[in-house]
Structure 1
């Protein structure tokens, strides 16, 4: 008799692909298991037969009989299976049935899988994801049900196939162990972490905790938390009490050294609404400090409570985090702050920091720790580092010594061809900004480095500095037009602007560009493939005046055509010339279009206001639009803004970039134009909107920026904060913060940045100002 493992799979609707793949996996696994006399029967709601009764109850029958229950969750939790249900989702009810069965009997085995969620989504989770997070935390707390994470459908398929095969093989050998380890334990604070009071407690913190305990007394007496809300009878007071208790709980866990807990963003932002009421203890202050440092997504406000810390106190706490903390984000930020403030390693800590702390840092902190050393380390520091052999720093000490020997001077350092893998990110940024000022040896060394962005910029700068070739260096050559005519007549399919034709044009441009102007004039012929490129090169060299070029465009290059016809007759006679012209009769429009394309490209290289009129006529032609756009963007006027807006909406790539640059330069009503652009769905158009109002300082722009604080684009909100900071005094920013939090809904990153700008003490304020300036520079670039 064949053995059957009955498996029930439960999952919300956002895992439909994984659910379908599970059925495919079971089919494959059954093929593998055929020789073992085992098979898997996979059940789900799809297999429930229609019948009378509550739909979920019909599904639950399969849960009651399964041997293995698999729950899979991502971002959705689901909806209640009935209006009067005790459960918030079908998954919860199915899981509850499975757990209760397992409490009474050895069956079913219970596996739970979580598909990984982006940290940014976790930091600002909605109601559905919050339930998923709570479910996961309950599993960690209970330590009774094991779970695993997976990245995507492919990882899910691989994991599920492996576990099912192993599980059936274990069953066939008499084992029922699920072949995987438990969920990861909560991180543990190092035993050397400081836990003594730091002297930063808010006066009255003890009294507030006493009142807190008194408020909880009804719940202690009855065991019912509803009693607390009933006794307070104030929703705001209840909310404050809840988050106040939460902070205390996190601090107690951290003080016990069993977990390096942080305040979650939702609870912290709720607490911030009552910021003036919080009287925090030392341990709570340390939790808040660590939480702010570890805030990778700019969603954790709280400097209001730490605003009175002095600079030295902040530095000491940053060093404490670096040495003792186990949160990589907090440690990395601490290094960044100390680097930005140019805080050196204190001599009394040098030995322990450089020979013990730095070598033991986790990989996630290496980049920021190294950037700190590159910017701040002294010769004595490097000497001490040399004694820390056998660590991730060992191969870098010589590089760091060379950097210091060069006096941190790029022109002294780069020609030595330093190993580019040790360039810190801030140093790369410094090099990129310094390229126009670097010496030729530095540019040469940089252009050969395998750092694409920097090497390309260095090569471009070297090319820019290189003097152009003389136009008449080569002597004239005899014209050989006859060979070109059949070549032109045979091109046919390439007339449409195919990649092959473009490549041929590039090759021809490069070849002809090596010829003298006299040779190019000889090649300037209506019927020659080289003719149009020769025209372009002569225009670029100034051999054909811009006035003549514009006239040629407007008259369809009739001048060139007539000159070429005269030459045909002089060389071949009237009859032969007439035959050639007849052969080309159908090509004249194409030749004219190609000639216009080359001519406008030449004008665009160094365009003037006089070129705009002809450029406007060529915007609708795909082959001439890019060059025409460049001319209008550089030399047009406000009347061109509307057509540039339309091109920005409907084009992509370089054309959109050029159109947006033109809009930024030409718009007369910058605010009105910005309002049009900010409504666009693309980030580059929204960036152009923000750039338009950067230097406009009036009440209407301030009102516009305040409205952007509620925009659904994170970058738009952050840029609005940066621009408001440039326009408003601190008292106005404080009023803005109060009004913003008073709204029904608001964004955490706005509150977080306003909190940082208003309350962060030095050196934190300098760090945040630099970070915000960097964000603004990126948007405005």
Structure 2
């Protein structure tokens, strides 16, 4: 049920500030619109708009003062000329209200900070400065030097504090979920020695200090050092909350402050101000370090959404705004696009960048307005990304309009090619042909491939494309012609796909990855050769030789398996001698000269033949091949090592799991294939491969083992699981939390969290993730669990 509430604002002012008063009223009008559905209205009172007040014997001011003492927010505006009215009296009365410990009473003093020249009214500048100095330390002091700056400050400060008050008035049910009436005392916790943080030593602000002492404990101000650790934490947290609530501090809690309070979570019942500070702190968490959902377990999905769209999103803290966007993304509805539209013009690059990220996930016809704002962004990467999003959106909803835009693109490496394919599917052959003239070569190749798929060209036109300057177009043209049955010799293929020497380096650096390469074309050609023709075609020093050897091996393995294994064992020495003699005879040069000239290429060529032989064995081999490939695990070629590991995994015994583990632990690079092969071969854990991986402290392998244990139901000893929560690597600890979330009960994990936080030292991200999966409100808890599962799935896949 909505509450009918009024937030009262009183403005005291000197002369010459009519524009400032007008700005305040405009801001209040906007806030009234924003909070209309909460049953909350905001009313501005000042001398000029008060109801008729009859003069009394005590004077007119006596009847004005109750409006000041009854207001929620007091705004003082000190212009260039203080004048001789009752401004100082009203300001003093407002200040006295803050001393009365009214936590909802907020005092602002806006001061026109321009330099004041001496004038005919003697003493006025010094009187003005006296006012400034008197209230500068005891109120929310906001200097401004222009109308624009005043507008900016009133939008920011007044908007924030009104939201702060509205969240108390309009959400009574959720407030009950977040607060208790009285904090409880607890015994000292010997593990906590932290003193009151410097920023909450109150900086001499007696108002806040007296409020803290009144709320937290009846002890003498001069004996703070003698109080218990629990009360020390209470003082720290409550004073921070009051400073934050009154806008005297813009800082949310740092990791250490929050975790110190979290250690007392079972005994610490929070006031509303503390609750809100902690909630905004954990919402703003961008590195998985902040725990605090324990205090907000009962918040509903509706509450979370309301908090995000009404309050967090209007914060002055960029991290809280981003946290609000992420929170809304978890429960996305298209009505939140209006929020993204508002934040698309935010001052913060990080906020606008997050708007862009979320918009990519929820594009629809209503996104054009937000994109048009982001296209004008001062940050080039945001502007460029917004332009690409526009093209992506137009492809879906107005594809003909996008054709002219695409023709203007000079380079679109980051364009969403999957969406571009959607466009191609919609276009006629003629429209596709027209796109062959666009500037971006990668898009031209996509257009050309679509035309090939539709068989849009006859043989004559295809022959013309064999002369195209684009290498990939020549490649796909050759493939199309060969698929149609046209015959090309390997020599002809080499000539067609030759790269100009001047362009060779540029080509290697810029060529896009494709699903087709020259080897695929040659493989199609050689597969049409008879085995006898293939054997005659192998030449030493030819890069086609290993490909031909592989084709022959796949055709004749059953008859030639001894020869193939022998070739591998002797490193192709016999074959090299035979092929070298044949090559020397063919070109009529001495064999010694040939070998000396090309000696530097010999190692590379032999490795290519080994790779060819290993591919054959991987497809048709058996356990007899395992001893052979073990000897090749020390090869310098990564491709050879990878094939050997795969063969051992495929044909090896359980004992061979130790070989793969040793390789994975000693390899200069982390080999996922080896570690997975080792884990798979050790089917019943006989060789304790998982335990050995954790003993190694190789973090990449440890993560793989954690994910493996869950997917293949291979248990990890409880002692190891517990130790993983104290691992030095951040990611390993998160993986460990994901593991225990799957293998332990909620009650076991709650007990684990209690014990974990009593240790002399521990890691914040472990507490953060345990807090999330145990205590986050149900809708969010599911999202956090899905995030952990996604992390594990990616590791295995």
TM-score of the aligned structures, taking structure 2 as reference length: 0.54
1:205 aligns with 2:181: yes
Provide the C-alpha distance between the structure 1 equivalents of 2:695 and 2:566, rounded to a whole number of angstroms.
38
Choose from 704, 708, 722 the match for 1:688: 704
Provide the C-alpha distance between the structure 1 equivalents of 2:396 and 2:717, rounded to a whole number of angstroms.
46
1:284 matched to which residue of 2? 274
2:557 matched to which residue of 1? 546
1:615 matched to which residue of 2? 629
Cα deviation, residue 523, structure 1: 7.9
Unaligned runs of 5+ in 1: 1-187, 229-237, 451-458, 479-506
Go from structure 1 to structure 2 and tell me whether the alpha carbon gap of 1:778 and 1:416 turns closer, same or farther (over 3 Å shift).
farther
Aligned partners of 1:508 and 1:533 also within 8 Å: no
Provide the C-alpha distance between the structure 1 equivalents of 2:293 and 2:540, rounded to a whole number of angstroms.
70
Aligned partners of 2:707 and 2:792 also within 8 Å: no
1:730 matched to which residue of 2? 746
Provide the C-alpha distance between the structure 2 equivalents of 1:603 and 1:475, rounded to a whole number of angstroms.
26
1:296 matched to which residue of 2? 286
Go from structure 1 to structure 2 and tell me whether the alpha carbon gap of 1:512 and 1:707 turns closer, same or farther (over 3 Å shift).
same
Provide the C-alpha distance between the structure 2 equivalents of 1:568 and 1:382, rounded to a whole number of angstroms.
66
Q: Deviations over 1:122-159 (max 9, x none)?
A: xxxxxxxxxxxxxxxxxxxxxxxxxxxxxxxxxxxxxx
Provide the C-alpha distance between the structure 2 equivalents of 1:378 and 1:531, rounded to a whole number of angstroms.
55
Provide the C-alpha distance between the structure 2 equivalents of 1:207 and 1:419, rounded to a whole number of angstroms.
65
Alignment RMSD (CA, Å): 5.4
2:674 matched to which residue of 1? 659
SS at match of 2:696: coil
1:674 aligns with 2:690: yes
Choose from 164, 186, 189 the match for 1:195: 164
Provide the C-alpha distance between the structure 2 equivalents of 1:760 and 1:565, rounded to a whole number of angstroms.
72
Give the alignment of 1:375-394 within 5 angstroms: 375-376=361-362, 379-380=365-366, 382=368
SS at match of 2:307: helix
Go from structure 1 to structure 2 and tell me whether the alpha carbon gap of 1:780 and 1:242 turns closer, same or farther (over 3 Å shift).
farther
Go from structure 1 to structure 2 and tell me whether the alpha carbon gap of 1:227 and 1:567 turns closer, same or farther (over 3 Å shift).
closer
2:306 matched to which residue of 1? 316
Aligned partners of 1:190 and 1:325 also within 8 Å: no
SS at match of 2:159: coil
Provide the C-alpha distance between the structure 1 equivalents of 2:320 and 2:443, rounded to a whole number of angstroms.
33
Choose from 583, 605, 615 the match for 2:615: 605
Provide the C-alpha distance between the structure 2 equivalents of 1:339 and 1:414, rounded to a whole number of angstroms.
32
Give the alignment of 1:77-116 within 5 angstroms: none
Provide the C-alpha distance between the structure 2 equivalents of 1:721 and 1:542, rounded to a whole number of angstroms.
49
Unaligned runs of 5+ in 2: 1-154, 186-210, 427-431, 445-470, 492-516
Go from structure 1 to structure 2 and tell me whether the alpha carbon gap of 1:247 and 1:594 turns closer, same or farther (over 3 Å shift).
closer
Cα deviation, residue 318, structure 1: 0.9
Q: Deviations over 1:260-298 (max 9, x none)?
A: 221221121121121122221221111011100111221
Provide the C-alpha distance between the structure 2 equivalents of 1:250 and 1:767, rounded to a whole number of angstroms.
30
Provide the C-alpha distance between the structure 2 equivalents of 1:703 and 1:420, rounded to a whole number of angstroms.
58
Cα deviation, residue 752, structure 1: 0.9
Aligned partners of 1:321 and 1:330 also within 8 Å: no
Cα deviation, residue 661, structure 1: 3.8
2:87 matched to which residue of 1? none
Q: Which deviates the most, 543-552 or 247-256?
A: 543-552
1:225 aligns with 2:229: no
Give the alignment of 1:358-373 within 5 angstroms: 358-373=344-359
Aligned partners of 1:520 and 1:538 also within 8 Å: no
SS at match of 1:359: coil
Provide the C-alpha distance between the structure 1 equivalents of 2:630 and 2:660, rounded to a whole number of angstroms.
11
Choose from 224, 235, 240 the match for 2:230: 240
SS at match of 1:333: helix
Cα deviation, residue 646, structure 1: 2.3
SS at match of 2:157: coil
Aligned residue pair count:
528
Go from structure 1 to structure 2 and tell me whether the alpha carbon gap of 1:559 and 1:734 turns closer, same or farther (over 3 Å shift).
same
Go from structure 1 to structure 2 and tell me whether the alpha carbon gap of 1:640 and 1:617 turns closer, same or farther (over 3 Å shift).
same
Provide the C-alpha distance between the structure 1 equivalents of 2:484 and 2:605, rounded to a whole number of angstroms.
21
1:257 aligns with 2:257: no
Cα deviation, residue 508, structure 1: 11
Provide the C-alpha distance between the structure 1 equivalents of 2:635 and 2:347, rounded to a whole number of angstroms.
59
Cα deviation, residue 769, structure 1: 3.1
Go from structure 1 to structure 2 and tell me whether the alpha carbon gap of 1:374 and 1:245 turns closer, same or farther (over 3 Å shift).
same
1:712 matched to which residue of 2? 728
Provide the C-alpha distance between the structure 2 equivalents of 1:263 and 1:630, rounded to a whole number of angstroms.
51
Go from structure 1 to structure 2 and tell me whether the alpha carbon gap of 1:363 and 1:383 turns closer, same or farther (over 3 Å shift).
closer
Go from structure 1 to structure 2 and tell me whether the alpha carbon gap of 1:743 and 1:377 turns closer, same or farther (over 3 Å shift).
same
Provide the C-alpha distance between the structure 1 equivalents of 2:674 and 2:615, rounded to a whole number of angstroms.
16
Provide the C-alpha distance between the structure 2 equivalents of 1:626 and 1:694, rounded to a whole number of angstroms.
25
Q: Deviations over 1:36-74 (max 9, x none)?
A: xxxxxxxxxxxxxxxxxxxxxxxxxxxxxxxxxxxxxxx
Cα deviation, residue 554, structure 1: 1.4
Cα deviation, residue 686, structure 1: 2.3
Provide the C-alpha distance between the structure 2 equivalents of 1:477 and 1:366, rounded to a whole number of angstroms.
54
Provide the C-alpha distance between the structure 2 equivalents of 1:415 and 1:551, rounded to a whole number of angstroms.
61
TM-score of the aligned structures, taking structure 1 as reference length: 0.55
Provide the C-alpha distance between the structure 1 equivalents of 2:634 and 2:214, rounded to a whole number of angstroms.
74
Cα deviation, residue 344, structure 1: 3.1
Aligned partners of 2:652 and 2:681 also within 8 Å: yes
Larger Rg: 2
Aligned partners of 1:600 and 1:615 also within 8 Å: no
Aligned partners of 1:525 and 1:531 also within 8 Å: no
Cα deviation, residue 365, structure 1: 0.9
Provide the C-alpha distance between the structure 2 equivalents of 1:742 and 1:521, rounded to a whole number of angstroms.
76
1:741 aligns with 2:727: no
Provide the C-alpha distance between the structure 1 equivalents of 2:298 and 2:597, rounded to a whole number of angstroms.
80
Aligned partners of 1:268 and 1:301 also within 8 Å: yes
Go from structure 1 to structure 2 and tell me whether the alpha carbon gap of 1:541 and 1:723 turns closer, same or farther (over 3 Å shift).
farther
